[in-house]
């Protein structure tokens, strides 16, 4: 077997482990990932699974990274070419709601679930989850501030408060969908976001 093929196969195996891990963690949490379960489901040895990551914590961090790639593809990439500011902020919120409505992750928003699981802990995984939220909040703040500066939102708009409200609305949607199966909440979330952003 050539070295190039060996590397490609190793990357393919790692990718398969991550894909299965994301699906499990979405429903059962990052702590629900066990090397034994992954090995059984993927037809591998335990040492074969852990050999790709080195530790359970490293696996959890890699799973967060993979989930972040999915979120970027679903929410950010569709709007990246839209004019920055209010137009992009509106589109971001729509894609964000759509991401939950379509059930991209079977357990709802991967990062909301991870935050509930790790927000009271310390360590690298908790810090990685917090960093994801900080980065997303930063993106929303950037677009909101641009919209205020351009006069597309009222001059007195407090960007931090608006982003706090938008986060709250979408997290409430995630809760309604996952805990109650309330599809009407999608309509309410869209109406609330549109009203807050001055959309008809």
Boundaries of every domain in the chain? 3-196
Does the pLDDT value for residue 199 go beyond 90?
no
What length is written for the chain?
200
8-state DSSP, 83: P
Query: In this model, does residue 3 exceed pLDDT 90?
Result: no
Q: What angle do CA 189, 78, 183 make, to 5 degrees?
A: 25
pLDDT category at 10 given cuts 50, 70, 90 is low
Give yes or no for residue 1 having a pLDDT over 60.
no
What percentage of the chain has pLDDT greater than the value 90? 76
CATH of 3-196, one of 2.40.10.10, 1.20.120.520, 1.10.357.10, 3.40.50.970: 1.10.357.10
Entry pTM: 0.90
Token pair recorded at residue 78: 């569709």
DSSP label at 76? Answer: I
Q: How far is it, in rounded angstroms, from Cα 75 to Cα 92?
A: 6
């Amino acid at each position: 077997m050539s070295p190039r093929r060996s590397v490609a196969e190793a990357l393919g195996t790692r990718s398969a482990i991550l894909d299965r891990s994301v699906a499990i963690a979405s429903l059962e949490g990052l702590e629900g990932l066990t090397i034994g379960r992954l090995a059984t489901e993927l037809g591998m040895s335990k040492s074969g699974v852990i050999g790709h990551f080195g530790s359970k914590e490293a696996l959890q961090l890699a799973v967060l990274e993979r989930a972040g790639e999915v979120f970027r593809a679903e929410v950010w990439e569709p709007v990246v070419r839209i004019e920055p500011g209010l137009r992009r902020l509106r589109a971001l919120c729509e894609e964000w709601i759509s991401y939950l409505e379509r059930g991209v992750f079977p357990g709802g928003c991967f990062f909301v679930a991870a935050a509930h699981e790790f927000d009271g802990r310390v360590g690298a995984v908790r810090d990685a989850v917090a960093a994801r939220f900080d980065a997303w909040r930063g993106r929303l703040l950037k677009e909101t501030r641009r919209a205020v500066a351009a006069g597309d939102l009222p001059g007195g708009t407090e960007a931090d408060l608006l982003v706090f409200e938008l986060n709250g609305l979408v997290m409430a949607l995630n809760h309604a969908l996952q805990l109650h199966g309330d599809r009407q909440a999608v309509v309410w979330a869209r109406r609330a976001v549109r009203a807050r952003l001055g959309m008809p």
